[in-house]
Amino acid sequence: MIRGDSVEYELLKKWCDTLPFFEEPKSVTTCEIGVREGLGSQIIMMSLTPRIGKVDYQHYAIDPYNDLEYQHVDGKASWKETGTTPPTYPNSMRDQLVKDFANNPYFKFYNMTDVEYFDIFNLSKTVFDLVLLDGPHTTKDILKESLWFADRSRIGTRIIIDDYWVANYDVIKGALSYWKFEPIEQGKSKVCFERVK
Ligand SMILES: C[S@@+](CC[C@H](N)C(=O)[O-])C[C@H]1O[C@@H](n2cnc3c(N)ncnc32)[C@H](O)[C@@H]1O
């Protein structure tokens, strides 16, 4: 079943519905890092497909599942080290996701981490129009992801960061400003950056 574990999905929908295309796109590409049960990806695709008509469209969904052990936020060890109950992202969740999107022609699933994806597709010429970052929330990870996508963006591209407040927002905002991304709207949980030049 397609579900979300975050908040402010109405903002995500709005930022998809208002994604500006400053030039007629030959193809449109969106992406979510950290997919879980798929609601973020579902909203992105449902908003964009009616807007872009017959233009070639793909949505990349990247997530390793397998209850990956990772540092979730700055200054805290991984779940195993702190002895707290980990959030669960088991492979059974992945298998359900694959079933739920089996008939969606736009959904391309990559069962791997962000860094594995970046390594494999480093030479790809794909330009991204909208990206939702909802995997690890450390400043280092968000910076790495944001800059990889910023380097593969065009004017109007949006980068949306979930739970941005747990990371060092000023550092991320400063780094993205190098690539001419500015925050266009900030919720309590999600923030949307847009490339303005
Ligand atoms: C908070 S959940 C995502 C929630 C989802 N975006 C939603 O709206 O319901 C975090 C997800 O990030 C994934 N994840 C953790 N580390 C990752 C990494 N390095 N690269 C990609 N995904 C990762 C986890 O497996 C988990 O499914």
CATH level 2 (architecture), domain 9-19+28-65+93-195: 3-Layer(aba) Sandwich (3.40)
Report how far ligand 1's centroid is from the alpha carbon of 6 (Å): 11
Measure the CA–CA gap between 32 and 59, rounded to whole angstroms. Answer: 8
- Taking only the tens of pLDDT, the chain with its 197 residues reads 999 988 999 999 999 999 999 888 899 999 999 999 999 999 999 999 999 889 999 999 999 999 888 888 888 877 677 766 767 899 999 999 999 999 999 999 999 999 999 999 999 999 999 999 999 999 999 999 999 999 999 999 999 999 999 999 999 999 999 999 999 999 999 999 999 99
Which atom of ligand 1 has the smallest separation from the CA of 141? 19
Domain ranges of the chain: 9-19+28-65+93-195
Of the candidates 149, 116, 154, the one whose C-alpha atom is nearest the C-alpha of residue 132 is: 149
Q: Residues, the chain, total?
A: 197
Q: Is the pTM of this model over 0.85?
A: yes
Q: What's the sign of the alpha-carbon dihedral 70, 76, 81, 86?
A: negative
Distance CA 163, CA 48 (A): 23
Q: In a mutational test of the pocket of ligand 1, which residue from 12, 31, 35, 88 has the highest number of ligand atoms less than 8 Å from its CB? A: 35
User: In what order do the strands lie in the sheet containing 181-186?
Assistant: 107-110, 56-62, 27-33, 130-133, 158-162, 190-195, 181-186
Torsions phi, psi of 149, nearest 5? -75, -35
